[in-house]
Amino acid sequence: MGLFASKKFPRGPSDGLNRWTFGPLNSTPLEYFTHLAHEYGDVAGIRILNFKTIFINHPDTIEQVLITNARKYSKGRVLRANRHVFGEGLLTSEGEFWLRQRRLAQPAFHRARIASYAATMVEYTEKLLEGWRDGEELDAHQEMMRLTLRIVGKTLFDADVERDAQGVGKSLELLLEIGADFRRTIFVPHWLPTPANLRVKREVAHIEKILYRIIAERRASGRDAGDLLSMLLAAQDEDGSRMTDKQLRDETITLFLAGHETTASTLSWAWWLLAKNPAVEAKLHAELDAVLGGRAPTLDDLPNLPYTNHVITEVLRLYPTAWGLARLVVEDDEIAGYPATKGMGIAMAQWVVHRDPRWYDAPEEFKPERWQGDLLKRLPRFAYFPFGGGARQCIGNTFALMEAALVLATIAQKFRLRLVAGHPVVPLASITLRPRHGVRVMLEQRHPAIERDTSIGAQSAVAD
């Protein structure tokens, strides 16, 4: 029997899951969900006060909730409870309204459109590197946050948020940190004047001010920058009405929040994992040096950098920045033989599924090589789902993968990031999964031409 072989709940007469665990969804949800999966297998019941949630841990049931019976589910309580932050943006809205907004925003994320963002991604990364010095110590996570915020600002809103980046970054970070307290988010109404709620209000107001300024500047200029903001501004309903400033604010704050911290954290985990796995790092360097030879990468290079892409795929397996998803049952369903009744919650955790030995050999190991063959094709659809799935799948997945690969390739050619001894790198499962205290590193400048001569062994390993 494998680690995850299930000790399922006995069926009860009234509700199938009759041994609801009183789940302390506290400060260590990663351990908590891992424990649930070990203890109960593919399906478990969690109760927090009178809220019942079914935790599902098998790709087939996840597919049922996200795709097959998706219409029976809406977004979960945590996201709904954060509506005062996200408003009716893409992440939180539902039904017809969501569909309309998704159709409006979709063209900004089409492959051809995204291709035009590649140059900006590389240019901004190179600008960041101009400030980096050999031997310098810094927090790689802070640097990645600043970079991805600027990239999202420029590519989607044609706004140079450099002057605002620090303020916006800090505010977004605080929101995510406060949002990490699930019990508070779910059980404390957002209008109560608690210190945390007042803080959220202040930070939201700060970001809003900047967003409204960007919107007003664009409206005033009437300029078509060909970016997402222009598309949203130009979009018309059948009755000719356009999006209000409030709607625009909801979409932009959603994209800023959803679109920068996730990719930044993916890159932070990548630097940490690479530094801890020198053999992987050497292979990555060998591929970059052989294909790029020191020049900046372009979009056309990405198909020729398979190992770089496998590194990103593997980082998102082990440290999926969207570490869990939640839904609310809006129409009765049955999951693995148990009734999922209206009002119950559903939880699923990429963190747990991605480390399940039924799908992955040596699941705790960082092994980009595992993606070299046809693993992705052989896996059940939802054994790997860093971007969710179904209609509500991440709209920014192609954007994020391209950005992560280009930033990684640009930086890894020039610098090796060495971990600073004694600095604890621990995951914080907030709405996203990020390094709680950042990732402190010492920069070591690379000299690819010299290293190329001494890395023939690593190069042949890449070719294998």
Give the residues lining the site for ligand HEM (CB under 6 A): 75, 90-91, 102, 152, 254-255, 258-259, 262-263, 266, 321-322, 325, 386-388, 392, 394-396, 399-400
Burial of 449 (0-12, 13-18, 19+ CB in 10 A): exposed
CB-wise, 371 or 399, nearer to ligand HEM? 399
Burial of 188 (0-12, 13-18, 19+ CB in 10 A): middle
Report the DSSP pairing between strands 440-445 and 137-139.
Answer: antiparallel
Residue nearest to ligand HEM (CB): 396
**Closest approach of Cβ 235 to ligand HEM, in Å?**
15
**Number of residues that make up the chain:** 464
Q: Under a CB-based contact definition with an 8 Å cutoff, are residues 394 and 106 in contact?
A: no
Side chain identity at residue 228, one-letter code:
L
Give the DSSP letter string of 152-194: HHHHHH---THHHHHHHHHHHHHHHHHHT-HHHHHHS-TTS--
**Closest approach of Cβ 123 to ligand HEM, in Å?**
17
Number of helices (H), then strands (E), belonging to the chain: the values are 20, 13
**Closest approach of Cβ 254 to ligand HEM, in Å?**
5
CB-wise, 45 or 396, nearer to ligand HEM? 396
CB-wise, 429 or 458, nearer to ligand HEM? 429
CB-wise, 167 or 390, nearer to ligand HEM? 390
CB-wise, 402 or 458, nearer to ligand HEM? 402
CB-wise, 178 or 253, nearer to ligand HEM? 253
CB-wise, 48 or 255, nearer to ligand HEM? 255
Residue 312 phi, psi (nearest 5) = -65, -45
CB-wise, 32 or 387, nearer to ligand HEM? 387
CB-wise, 225 or 442, nearer to ligand HEM? 225
**Closest approach of Cβ 374 to ligand HEM, in Å?**
23
**Closest approach of Cβ 430 to ligand HEM, in Å?**
13
Residue 252 phi, psi (nearest 5) = -70, -40
CB-wise, 41 or 169, nearer to ligand HEM? 169
Neighbours of 414 (CB within 10 A): 19
**Closest approach of Cβ 198 to ligand HEM, in Å?**
27
Residues linked to residue 363 through DSSP beta bridges, in sequence order = none
* Nearest alpha-carbon partner for 368 in 319, 315, 441: 315
3-state secondary structure of 54: strand
CB-wise, 23 or 386, nearer to ligand HEM? 386
**Closest approach of Cβ 321 to ligand HEM, in Å?**
4
* Nearest alpha-carbon partner for 139 in 411, 431, 417: 417
- Cα–Cα distances in Å, from 107 out to 73, 231, 235? 26, 8, 12
Burial of 189 (0-12, 13-18, 19+ CB in 10 A): exposed
- Cα–Cα distances in Å, from 291 out to 77, 372, 405, 459? 47, 18, 14, 11
**Closest approach of Cβ 148 to ligand HEM, in Å?**
8
User: E strands within 261-393?
Assistant: 325-329, 333-335, 338-340, 345-348
Rounded to the nearest angstrom, the gap between the alpha carbon of residue 402 and the centroid of all alpha carbons in its chain is: 14
**Closest approach of Cβ 203 to ligand HEM, in Å?**
20
**Closest approach of Cβ 42 to ligand HEM, in Å?**
20
Rounded to the nearest angstrom, the gap between the alpha carbon of residue 312 and the centroid of all alpha carbons in its chain is: 12
**Closest approach of Cβ 108 to ligand HEM, in Å?**
9
**Closest approach of Cβ 362 to ligand HEM, in Å?**
23
CB-wise, 61 or 455, nearer to ligand HEM? 61
Place of tokens 């060998």: 286
